[in-house]
Amino acid sequence: MSFISLVTIVVADYDAAIRFYVDALGLELTEDSPSITNDGRPKRWVVVRPKGAETGILLAKADGAEQQLAIGNQVRGRVGFFLRVDDFEAAFRRMVAADVEFVSQPRTESYGTVAVFVDIAGNRWDLLGPAMTHA
């Protein structure tokens, strides 16, 4: 069976990105290893992923002016990443407490509850969960 193993998000700094994705979003740091660029310069291989997930995010530090232009602009202002959670309200509260910037308030759609947030690089994400029930 085939699956997508990794997607890359270009970031300005490895350690700040790790703190954001692990502390604010609740992902796991599954790899942080020394590596080298194609032309032999040192870099790091940094992967975060949701607990138990096969697909992860490679946090790639921008290398050069052209890649720096991609930071926060990988999908040209569209929502390009989607984080599905089982408990939307708990995840939303945790992220707000961690100063994650939400650019929309939670709303209920046919597919569940959604709110758009911005990651440390400036990319837009949907936080997705089951429809909220109000007792």
The reported pTM is 0.89
Task: Give how far Cα 115 sits from Cα of 14, 124, 133, Å.
Answer: 26, 10, 16
The secondary structure of 45-89 as a DSSP string is: EEEEE-TT-S-EEEEEE--SHHHHTTTT-TTTTSEEEEEE-S-HH
Q: Do domains 6-68 and 79-129 have the same CATH topology?
A: no
Residue-range domain boundaries for the chain = 6-68, 79-129
How far is 128 from 115, CA to CA, in rounded Å?
7
How far is 10 from 21, CA to CA, in rounded Å?
13
Which architecture, in CATH terms, is 6-68? Roll (3.10)
Tens digit of pLDDT for each residue in 52-94?
999 999 999 999 999 999 999 889 989 999 999 999 999 999 9
Whether domain 79-129 has CATH 3.30.720.110: the reply is yes
102: its two tokens: 């939400």
Tens digit of pLDDT for each residue in 10-36?
999 999 999 999 999 999 999 999 999
